[in-house]
Amino acid sequence: MICVAGMEGALASVIGGLTAGPVVAVPTSVGYGAGLEGDALLAMHASCASGISVVGIDNGFGAACAIARMCS
C-alpha cells in the first residue's frame, strides 16, 4: 500500500497499524513542507508501526519502484 500524507504525516502510522501488508509512506511538501516543525518526513521515519518504508518528499515514483520490488 502506498500512503501519501502531508502536514504531520500521521496517516502512514495509522495505515501501518491497521493493515498486515507493507506500507510505503510518501511525505508531501504541502502544508509544513520540509521544515522541522511538524515535518511529515521526520514523523514517518519515527513511526512505531512495523512494516513501513519511507521514501523522499514528493517521491511517488520511488514508492512505486519500492512496491514493484516487493511484489517481484
Q: Per-domain residue ranges for the chain?
A: 2-71
User: Which cell numbers in the block locate residue 66?
Assistant: 519500492
Collapse the DSSP code of 5 into the 3-class scheme (helix H, G, I; strand E, B; otherwise coil) and give the result: strand
Q: pLDDT tens digits, the chain, 72 residues: what are they? A: 999 988 778 888 899 899 988 999 998 877 655 555 557 888 888 877 888 999 988 899 999 999 999 998
**Which amino acid is it at 11?**
L
Longest dimension (CA), the chain: 37
Cα distance between residue 67 and residue 34, in whole Å = 24
Question: Model-level pTM greater than 0.95?
Answer: no
Cell 500521521, residue located: 10
- State how far the alpha carbon of 38 is from the alpha carbons of 6, 16, 35, 44, 51, in Å: 10, 19, 7, 11, 22
Q: Residue 64: its pLDDT value, please?
A: 95
At 65 the pLDDT is 95
What pLDDT, on the 0 to 100 scale, is given for residue 31?
64
